[in-house]
Amino acid sequence: MPKMNWTELGTQKLGRCAEYFAMMEFASFGCKIYSAEIDDGVDFVAKINSDFYEVQVKSMLKGKYVYVPKSSMNIHDKFRLVCFLKFAEGELPMIYIIPATSWKRPNAVLKNNAYTKSQKSPPEWGIQYSERNLSVIEKHRADLFFAKHNL
Protein backbone atom coordinates (compact mmCIF):
# COMPACT_ATOMS: atom_id res chain seq x y z
CA MET A 1 0.00 0.00 0.00
CA PRO A 2 1.46 3.40 -0.94
CA LYS A 3 2.25 5.96 1.75
CA MET A 4 -0.41 8.37 0.35
CA ASN A 5 1.04 11.53 1.89
CA TRP A 6 0.75 13.22 -1.50
CA THR A 7 1.54 16.78 -0.36
CA GLU A 8 5.03 15.65 0.69
CA LEU A 9 5.88 14.75 -2.90
CA GLY A 10 5.63 18.11 -4.57
CA THR A 11 4.18 18.77 -8.01
CA GLN A 12 6.79 17.02 -10.17
CA LYS A 13 6.91 13.79 -8.13
CA LEU A 14 3.11 13.71 -7.84
CA GLY A 15 2.89 13.98 -11.63
CA ARG A 16 5.29 11.06 -12.01
CA CYS A 17 3.25 9.00 -9.51
CA ALA A 18 0.13 9.84 -11.51
CA GLU A 19 1.75 8.48 -14.67
CA TYR A 20 2.66 5.24 -12.89
CA PHE A 21 -0.82 4.90 -11.37
CA ALA A 22 -2.35 5.47 -14.79
CA MET A 23 -0.16 2.85 -16.45
CA MET A 24 -0.94 0.37 -13.64
CA GLU A 25 -4.66 1.02 -14.07
CA PHE A 26 -4.52 0.26 -17.78
CA ALA A 27 -2.26 -2.77 -17.22
CA SER A 28 -4.55 -4.14 -14.50
CA PHE A 29 -7.34 -4.35 -17.09
CA GLY A 30 -5.08 -6.31 -19.45
CA CYS A 31 -3.90 -3.48 -21.69
CA LYS A 32 -0.37 -3.51 -23.06
CA ILE A 33 1.56 -0.38 -22.14
CA TYR A 34 4.28 1.33 -24.16
CA SER A 35 6.04 4.18 -22.37
CA ALA A 36 7.03 7.32 -24.22
CA GLU A 37 10.70 8.21 -24.30
CA ILE A 38 9.98 11.88 -24.98
CA ASP A 39 7.12 13.81 -23.38
CA ASP A 40 5.51 15.55 -26.34
CA GLY A 41 1.98 15.52 -24.96
CA VAL A 42 1.77 11.72 -24.86
CA ASP A 43 2.80 10.01 -21.62
CA PHE A 44 2.26 6.45 -22.83
CA VAL A 45 0.51 4.36 -25.46
CA ALA A 46 -2.01 1.71 -24.42
CA LYS A 47 -3.15 -1.18 -26.57
CA ILE A 48 -6.82 -1.77 -25.79
CA ASN A 49 -8.11 -4.85 -27.57
CA SER A 50 -6.65 -4.30 -31.05
CA ASP A 51 -6.47 -0.48 -30.97
CA PHE A 52 -3.62 1.76 -29.85
CA TYR A 53 -4.45 4.86 -27.78
CA GLU A 54 -2.19 7.80 -26.97
CA VAL A 55 -2.65 8.73 -23.32
CA GLN A 56 -1.90 12.07 -21.68
CA VAL A 57 -1.91 11.96 -17.86
CA LYS A 58 -3.09 14.90 -15.78
CA SER A 59 -3.15 15.01 -11.99
CA MET A 60 -4.62 17.26 -9.34
CA LEU A 61 -4.20 17.42 -5.58
CA LYS A 62 -5.22 20.84 -4.31
CA GLY A 63 -6.37 22.83 -7.31
CA LYS A 64 -9.60 22.69 -9.23
CA TYR A 65 -8.37 23.04 -12.80
CA VAL A 66 -5.90 21.28 -15.10
CA TYR A 67 -5.52 21.66 -18.83
CA VAL A 68 -4.05 20.33 -22.05
CA PRO A 69 -2.83 22.92 -24.58
CA LYS A 70 -4.94 22.81 -27.72
CA SER A 71 -1.72 22.60 -29.72
CA SER A 72 -0.99 19.16 -28.21
CA MET A 73 -4.41 17.49 -28.48
CA ASN A 74 -6.74 17.07 -31.43
CA ILE A 75 -10.29 16.57 -30.08
CA HIS A 76 -11.29 14.76 -33.27
CA ASP A 77 -8.77 11.97 -32.63
CA LYS A 78 -10.76 8.98 -31.39
CA PHE A 79 -7.52 7.27 -30.30
CA ARG A 80 -6.47 10.02 -27.88
CA LEU A 81 -7.28 9.83 -24.15
CA VAL A 82 -6.69 12.01 -21.11
CA CYS A 83 -6.25 10.00 -17.93
CA PHE A 84 -7.11 12.37 -15.06
CA LEU A 85 -6.17 11.43 -11.49
CA LYS A 86 -7.70 13.31 -8.57
CA PHE A 87 -5.57 12.86 -5.47
CA ALA A 88 -6.78 13.37 -1.90
CA GLU A 89 -4.42 13.19 1.06
CA GLY A 90 -4.40 9.72 2.66
CA GLU A 91 -6.41 8.10 -0.17
CA LEU A 92 -5.73 6.36 -3.45
CA PRO A 93 -6.48 8.63 -6.40
CA MET A 94 -9.76 8.61 -8.28
CA ILE A 95 -9.00 7.78 -11.91
CA TYR A 96 -10.98 9.08 -14.87
CA ILE A 97 -10.40 8.35 -18.55
CA ILE A 98 -11.68 11.02 -20.89
CA PRO A 99 -11.63 10.54 -24.66
CA ALA A 100 -10.39 13.65 -26.49
CA THR A 101 -13.63 13.63 -28.48
CA SER A 102 -15.53 14.44 -25.26
CA TRP A 103 -14.34 18.06 -25.54
CA LYS A 104 -16.51 18.44 -28.65
CA ARG A 105 -19.33 19.06 -26.15
CA PRO A 106 -17.92 21.22 -23.33
CA ASN A 107 -19.81 21.14 -20.02
CA ALA A 108 -19.38 22.03 -16.34
CA VAL A 109 -16.21 19.86 -16.18
CA LEU A 110 -14.76 19.82 -19.71
CA LYS A 111 -13.81 23.35 -20.75
CA ASN A 112 -12.96 24.91 -24.10
CA ASN A 113 -10.83 27.94 -23.28
CA ALA A 114 -10.16 29.73 -26.53
CA TYR A 115 -8.14 32.66 -25.24
CA THR A 116 -7.72 35.60 -27.58
CA LYS A 117 -4.39 36.92 -28.83
CA SER A 118 -4.53 39.74 -26.27
CA GLN A 119 -4.60 37.22 -23.42
CA LYS A 120 -1.41 35.65 -22.08
CA SER A 121 -2.42 31.97 -22.14
CA PRO A 122 -2.58 29.88 -25.31
CA PRO A 123 -5.89 28.10 -26.04
CA GLU A 124 -6.49 25.00 -23.93
CA TRP A 125 -8.82 22.10 -23.19
CA GLY A 126 -9.54 22.13 -19.46
CA ILE A 127 -10.88 19.93 -16.67
CA GLN A 128 -12.73 21.93 -14.00
CA TYR A 129 -13.02 19.61 -11.00
CA SER A 130 -15.29 20.37 -8.05
CA GLU A 131 -17.45 18.46 -5.62
CA ARG A 132 -20.48 20.16 -7.18
CA ASN A 133 -19.57 18.72 -10.62
CA LEU A 134 -18.89 15.14 -9.49
CA SER A 135 -22.01 13.80 -11.22
CA VAL A 136 -20.73 15.20 -14.54
CA ILE A 137 -17.26 13.63 -14.36
CA GLU A 138 -18.43 10.30 -12.90
CA LYS A 139 -19.33 8.99 -16.35
CA HIS A 140 -15.59 9.08 -17.12
CA ARG A 141 -14.56 6.78 -14.24
CA ALA A 142 -11.86 4.36 -15.35
CA ASP A 143 -13.87 1.26 -14.44
CA LEU A 144 -16.73 2.39 -16.68
CA PHE A 145 -14.32 3.11 -19.55
CA PHE A 146 -12.82 -0.38 -19.35
CA ALA A 147 -16.25 -2.01 -19.00
CA LYS A 148 -17.31 -0.25 -22.22
CA HIS A 149 -14.29 -1.85 -23.91
CA ASN A 150 -15.20 -5.30 -22.50
CA LEU A 151 -12.16 -5.51 -20.24
Q: Which contiguous run of DSSP H or E holds residue 79?
A: none
Report whether pLDDT(121) > 90.
no
pLDDT at 70: 93
Query: pLDDT at position 17, please?
Result: 96
| Helix %, strand %, coil % of the chain (to 5) | 30, 30, 40
Global pTM reads 0.94
Q: In this prediction, what percent of the chain has a pLDDT beyond 70?
A: 99
Give 118 or 26, the one with higher predicted confidence.
26
119, pLDDT greater than 80? no
Tens of pLDDT, residues 19-53: 999 999 999 999 999 998 877 889 999 999 999 99
**Pairing outcome for strands 44-48 and 94-99:** unpaired
Query: Could you tell me how far CA 15 lies from the centroid of its own chain?
Result: 11
All domains of the chain in start order, with CATH: 6-148 (3.40.1350.10)
**pLDDT of the residue at 37:** 80
The pLDDT of residue 41? 84
Q: How far apart are the C-alpha atoms of 34 and 42, rounded to whole Å?
A: 11
Burial 94-126 (b: 16+ CB within 10 A, else e): bbbbbbbebbeeeeebbbebeeeeeeeeeebbb
